[in-house]
Structure formats: C-alpha cells, structure tokens
C-alpha cells in the first residue's frame, strides 16, 4: 500500500497519533503528479494530447505537458498542507494562481493544466483536511469534505481571465468546473471511479481501464471545452460517440482500439477536445491512488 493510502485511508483510534504532516504532503504531491502523468500517457484518447499525438491541438503536445508537470512539482503538496492547516479557500486560491503562473512560464503561455490545477488542488486540500482529523477517504468522505469546506467559496469564485470553458458555460447555460467542484465532483465519484474500478475488476490493463473511464466521463459530462470548440452540437457529437463506444462493449471487446481511434480522428477533424473530461480523469486517478495504492491496481508513483 502506498504512503498516501497508509497516511490517509485508515481511521485513527483515539490513542493513535495523526499521520506526520510531512508524510501526507509528500504522499499527496506524488499521487497528484502521478495521476497527471497517467492521464497524459493514456491512449488512444478522443481529441486529446497523448504521447506522439497532439489530438485537436495546434499549440501543445506531450512535451508541452511534460514541461508543465515539472513546473507543478510541490503545488499539490502545498494544497494538502493548506488543508491540513485548515486554511481558508483564499489561501488555496493563491497557491493555485502561483502554480498557474509557473505552468504558463514553463509552456510559453500555453494553458495545459489550468483545470487540473483547480480540480486536483481542491481534492488535495480536502485530503489534507481529512488527514488532519485522522479520517478515512473511504465512501463519500472526500466529496463531503470538498462540499463542506470549499463549496460556498467555489460558487463565489470569479471565472479565470480568458477561461474559454467559463465563457462557454455562461453563453450556453451549462455547468462548468466550478459547479462540478462545488458539488463535490459528482462525475468523479459517480461516473469516473465506478467505470475505472469496474474495468480493473474485469481484468483490463491500467491503460485500457483509464480509456474506459475517460469515455464514461465524455459520455456524461457537460464538457465546456467541447462546447467552446463546437457549441452544443460538438458536445452532442462527442457524447454520442462515447456512448456508442461504451454500448458496443468499450475496451472489453475485440476491435475496441480501432473504434476508439476512429472516434479520436472524428473529433480531431471537428477540432473537438474534451479537456474537462481529461481533467476529471486525472482527478479520478488521484482519488483512486489515495484510496488504494498499487496493491489494489494503481500504478506505482
């Protein structure tokens, strides 16, 4: 079991001391960065950047994402530390602004991980809060903590300047990343995690289970990145394609890879990229790592 799982998952008895803060901070930072590396390595992904394929993007590739990930080292641990200390959301937001500046500096101004900084940052802080009280990450505890500790502040949060997703959400009346976080990431806990865990239980390799999870998220999430790029019609196209993939058996059938690649090419032709779903795939992988570790199917950090 990983350090994250040992430090965060087990309930604490009255005479048992809390996990060492430094151990929690290191564990969460490693788990978050590993989740983001896994998301990048997943493939084929519909319309998204993966190793050797820029998807529907002309301004970024896997190398851009790698530079961004290196710049983000330490941020998720700092978010967990803020949660351990019971810091207000404004302190977490300041850490996120600093991390975003590092990201943009490393990528030459390209936004690779703004959504992940927000989503995984909030989840990292919530994990820290649970660790401070010696509480388990099992069940709904992590989602409940996100809602209780940060939900109201997230709802009041002004959209990031230049956020295409926020602009699309306002223009078309669809919920975006703030609403997802304020509700405790329901698409992570009710869609992503069940899909990932069910696929692993059926014997899928880690990459295939991630693909199954991603298609489940694309099929259900009102992804504002898709709305920004293709309007409601683009969102409907991507969701319909993902549902057809899942209804055909997903990754648990012969020929699934060709079907997934066909969907990928169709999204690229339409300049569609489900970036919000990719962020929630990474969030799902973070939660899965913190809960279970390698002994339960997670890849080593």
Q: Which of 1-5, 54-58, 144-148 has the highest mean pLDDT?
A: 144-148
**pTM exceeds 0.85:** yes
pLDDT score for 136: 84
What mean pLDDT is predicted for residues 125-137?
92
pLDDT score for 158: 76
Cα distance between residue 278 and residue 294, in whole Å: 22
HSE of 18, CA atoms in CB hemisphere, 13 A:
14
pLDDT score for 137: 86
DSSP letter for each residue of 215-237: HHHHHH---HHHHHHHHHHHHHH
pLDDT score for 22: 79
pLDDT score of 298 more than 50: no
When mean pLDDT is compared across 44-53, 90-99, 116-125, 164-173, the lowest value belongs to 164-173
Write the pLDDT tens digit of every residue in 211-257.
999 999 999 999 999 999 999 999 999 999 999 999 999 999 999 99
Give whole-number Cα distances, 266 to 46, 55, 97, 276, in Å: 8, 10, 35, 18
Write the pLDDT tens digit of every residue in 6-51.
444 444 434 334 457 778 899 999 999 999 999 999 999 999 999 9
pLDDT band at 290 (very low <50, low <70, confident <90, very high): very high
Write the pLDDT tens digit of every residue in 172-224.
566 678 999 999 999 999 999 999 999 999 999 999 999 999 999 999 999 99
Q: Are 72 and 33 in contact (CB under 8 A)?
A: yes
Cα distance between residue 289 and residue 2, in whole Å: 8
Domain-by-domain residue ranges, the chain?
Answer: 3-296
**Helices marked H in the chain:** 3-8, 21-41, 62-71, 75-84, 89-107, 114-132, 141-156, 164-172, 177-182, 186-187, 193-201, 206-220, 224-247, 256-269, 275-291
């Amino acid at each position: 079991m990983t350090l994250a799982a040992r430090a965060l998952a087990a309930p604490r008895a009255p005479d048992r001391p809390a996990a060492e803060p430094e151990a929690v901070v290191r564990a969460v930072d490693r788990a978050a960065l590993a989740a983001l590396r896994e998301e990048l390595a997943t493939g084929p992904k519909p319309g998204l950047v993966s190793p050797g394929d820029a998807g529907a993007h002309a301004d970024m590739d896997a190398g851009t994402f790698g530079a961004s990930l290196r710049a983000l080292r330490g941020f998720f641990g700092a978010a967990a530390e803020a949660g351990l200390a019971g810091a207000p959301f404004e302190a977490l937001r300041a850490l996120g602004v600093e991390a975003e500046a590092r990201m943009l500096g490393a990528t030459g101004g390209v936004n690779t991980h703004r959504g992940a900084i927000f989503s995984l940052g909030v989840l990292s802080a919530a994990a820290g809060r649970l660790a401070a009280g010696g509480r388990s990450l099992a069940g709904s505890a992590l989602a409940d903590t996100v809602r209780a500790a940060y939900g109201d502040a997230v709802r009041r949060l002004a959209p990031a300047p230049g956020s295409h997703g926020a602009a699309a959400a306002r223009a078309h009346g669809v919920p975006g990343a703030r609403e997802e976080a304020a509700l405790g990431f329901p698409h992570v806990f009710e869609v992503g995690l069940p899909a990932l865990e069910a696929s692993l239980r059926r014997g899928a390799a880690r990459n295939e289970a991630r693909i199954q999870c991603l298609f489940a998220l694309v099929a259900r999430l009102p992804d504002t990145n898709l709305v920004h790029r293709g309007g409601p019609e683009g969102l409907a196209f991507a969701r319909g394609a993902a549902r057809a993939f899942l209804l055909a058996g997903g990754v648990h059938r012969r020929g699934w890879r060709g079907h997934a690649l066909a969907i990928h090419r169709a999204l690229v032709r339409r300049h569609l990229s489900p970036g919000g779903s990719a962020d929630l795939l990474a969030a799902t992988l973070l939660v899965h790592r913190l809960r279970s570790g390698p002994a339960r199917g997670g890849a080593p950090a």
